[in-house]
Structure 1
Amino acid sequence: MYLRILLRTFFVFVFCLHNPLGAWAQDTLSMVAKTGELRLGHRDNSRPFSYRDPATGQVMGYSVDICTKIYDEVKKELKRPDLRLTYVLVDGKNRLSDLKNRTVDLECGTTTNTAERQKEIAFSHHIFIATTAFVVRKDSGIKTLDDLQGKRIAVERKTTNDSLLVANERTFHRKFVYVLVDSAQQSLAALTRGEADAAFADDASLWVPMTQLGKSMGEYHFLEKRLSMEPYSIGLRRDDPRFKDLVDRVTRRTIQSGEMSALYKKWFNSDQGVLPMSAFMREALKRPSDVGVEQIAF
């Protein structure tokens, strides 16, 4: 009898050695069923993806709408129509750790799905493909990157974007004049004030300040050529296949049904028009993928 107990204790000890805390942790759906709430991590002011409206206090955005669809699916899966949806503010520094330590169950913002980050968390299918883009005046005569030779380009200092311009100069033997600023909004402001011939930043980051130009927004447009791409995805915890399957089911259905295209038009629309959908985004809507990438420069 004593030997049997000793052996059982030994096997439990060995199991613990080979299966760290994650093996004992509850999967997300079991934990949500127990607590009666799904915790959604959102950003404070990442318009139009994830933000809290200052007038109403409501959490909203493109990414939030997709996470809300996941919440609806969780309610069906658990047969819990009373399941609460709790919004938790996260930021760029803590968004991954908040997922890992179970402060939130979904991270709904503008997080790029990279191979490096997949070592820490899991991701949904790509929900948006951000690209670095040039905005110019329509009447400037600038149609290609070659037309930007010797032109003034407003770009945020000490970012991957100014590094991309340097790499492009070196590869294609071009020469740009740099107008260094501190944000995408400032790069657009330099363009509208005539201090630059082009603004260069993430297309989605430029979109919001462009919509604030009112009717004069129609005087500007994006060049077709993009210099890099970064796929945004919804973040969730690793090693949780049951929850991952549910999230993938929702995002795949949202993509294939055309709902994600409709959400794109909803959130990237203004009285002056719709943010042009890049070729990379169109491809993402044809072939759902959750592959983590490194930054790709062109």
Structure 2
Amino acid sequence: MKVAGRCGEGSEGMVRVARGPRSAAMPHLVRGMHRVLLALTACGVVAFAGPARADELTGTLKKIHDDGVVVLGVREASIPFSYFDGKRTVGYSQAIAMQIVDEIRKTLGMTQLRVHEITVTSSNRTPMLLNNQIDLECGSTTHTVERENVAAFSDSFFQYAVRMITRKNSGITDFRDLAGKPVVTTAGTSDERLLRSLNTEKQLNMRIMSARDHQEAFSAMKDGRAVAFVMDEPIVYGFKATDPHPDDFIVTGTPLGYEVYACMFRKGDESFRALVNRVIVRSQTSGDAERLYRQWFTQPIPPRGINVNFPLSEQNRALFAHPNDHALD
């Protein structure tokens, strides 16, 4: 059951209430008042819902409070999600991460909370999280069932297909055309797993290269060391849009699968999970997520004012209407 209501002056809040056994003896009025109380508590209207006391903190929030800093894992070239524009880290996912930082500040009552960014790759992001080198990563990390064994994931903030980018004159239109050819993807990604599975199942004999990061993978395709770069559809559209000669490339191929991005944090930290999801649900159900989407996918973005031209899909529209943390694999 979901209880939603207006909070404060113009803001909105939502609390998810676990459904328990119904009691026939419980008066309808009491049940209604209970729901209202829960909703007001989530919104911060009830008097005791103020900044958390230091001695009540646990997990990531306690670490952040004690250190006086929140450490974000950021990407260097996951355009337009999390990337360095020459001055700072920007992007759709980075904007979500900074909304979460603002919520941490309010929850802890620490207006001067510092933010430290550490650049991560697809290969090292999880070890750095588990080793407490970063507290939160909101970039282009796929939520998979397998990864739930080692890390926790927020409600999803983006759904996409896995496809490939290749040169327009390559003659490649689908994955069967990659048989016997050199193909590149990024090491440590779910795309690498999907590509290797396809290679084995269809006996395509592809020569698969695993690049350190997305930029290196795109460069390998562009330089001719690989005929195609297999990756998340919005990522390859980002590289196509930012290349000096975007018309030289096409994004093609029947999707290998559909996946979702989410923020990643340490397992077993329910208070931090609740905070992160509170931010994401509020953004998606208020219309702010759609505004962010338009800003980063359908309008000019820094540093060169390119437009990714990747309109909001029906899948993402449905995700925003019904926030959830379901992996799609």
Q: TM-score, normalised by structure 1?
A: 0.66
Secondary structure of 1:274's match? coil
* Cα shift readout 1:210-257 (whole Å, capped 9, x = no counterpart): 12333x424544337311233221122332322221211111112222
Shift, 1:205, TM fit:
3.6
Alpha-carbon distance between aligned partners in 2 of 1:165 and 1:202, rounded to the nearest angstrom: 12
Shift in Å, 1:91? 2.9
1: distance between equivalents of 2:285 and 2:279? 10
2:233 is the alignment partner of 1:233: no
**29-38 or 236-245, which deviates more:** 29-38
- Name the % identity: 25
Q: Which moved more, 1:69-78 or 1:25-34?
A: 25-34
How far apart are residue 124 of structure 1 and its match?
A: 0.8
* Higher helix proportion: 1
Q: 1:204 Cα shift?
A: 3.7
After TM superposition, list the pairs within 5 Å mapping 1:1-298 onto structure 2: 26-28=57-59, 31=62, 34-35=65-66, 37-48=68-79, 49-53=81-85, 55-56=86-87, 58-78=88-108, 80=109, 82-89=111-118, 91-92=120-121, 94-135=124-165, 148=177, 154-156=183-185, 164=194, 168=198, 182=211, 199-214=229-244, 216-218=245-247, 220-223=249-252, 225-269=254-298, 270=300, 271-275=306-310, 280-292=315-327, 296=329
1:287 deviates by 2.8
Q: What is the CA–CA distance in structure 2 between the aligned matches of 1:170 and 1:26, rounded to whole Å?
A: 48
1:160-186 Cα shifts (integer Å, max 9, x gaps): 757745755787x79697696857657
- CA 1:279–1:222: 2 relative to 1, 3 Å: farther
Aligned-partner SS, 1:238: coil
Greater Rg, structure 1 or structure 2?
1
Structure 1 counterpart of 2:138, one-letter code? C
Structure 1: distance between partners of 2:295 and 2:283: 14
SS of residue matched to 1:231: strand
1:64 Cα deviation after fit: 1.9
Contact 2:83/2:89, CA 8 A, preserved across alignment = yes
Deviation at 1:127, TM superposition (A): 1.9
What are the superposed Cα offsets for residues 93-146 of structure 1, whole Å, 9 maximum, x if unpaired? 553344445443322333222233323332111123353213356798977668
Backbone CA RMSD of aligned residues: 4.2
Q: Distance in 2 between matches of 1:133 and 1:45?
A: 21
Report if the CA contact (8 A) 1:136-1:221 is conserved: yes
Task: Classify 1:283/1:167 alpha carbon distance in 2 versus 1 (closer, same or farther; 3 Å).
Answer: farther
Q: Which runs of 5+ in 1 are unaligned?
A: 1-23
Tell whether the 8 Å contact from 2:167 to 2:248 is kept in structure 1 after alignment.
yes
SS of the residue 2:257 aligns to: strand
> May I ask how many residue pairs the two structures share in their alignment?
265
Deviation at 1:69? 0.5
Matched to 2:145, the amino acid is: A
> Could you say what secondary structure the match of 1:211 adopts?
helix
Indicate the structure with greater strand content.
1
The Cα shift of 1:207 comes to 3.1
> What letter is aligned with 2:155?
H
User: How far, CA to CA, are the matches of 1:258 and 1:32 in structure 2?
Assistant: 32
Q: Distance in 2 between matches of 1:157 and 1:98?
A: 18
Name the SS for the 2:156 alignment partner. strand
Output the CA distance in 2 between the equivalents of 1:162 and 1:100: 22
CA shift in 2, pair 1:213/1:103, >3 Å: closer
> Retained in 2: the 8 A contact 1:90–1:98?
no
CA contact (8 A) 1:133 1:200 kept: yes
Gaps spanning 5+ residues in structure 2: where? 1-54, 301-305
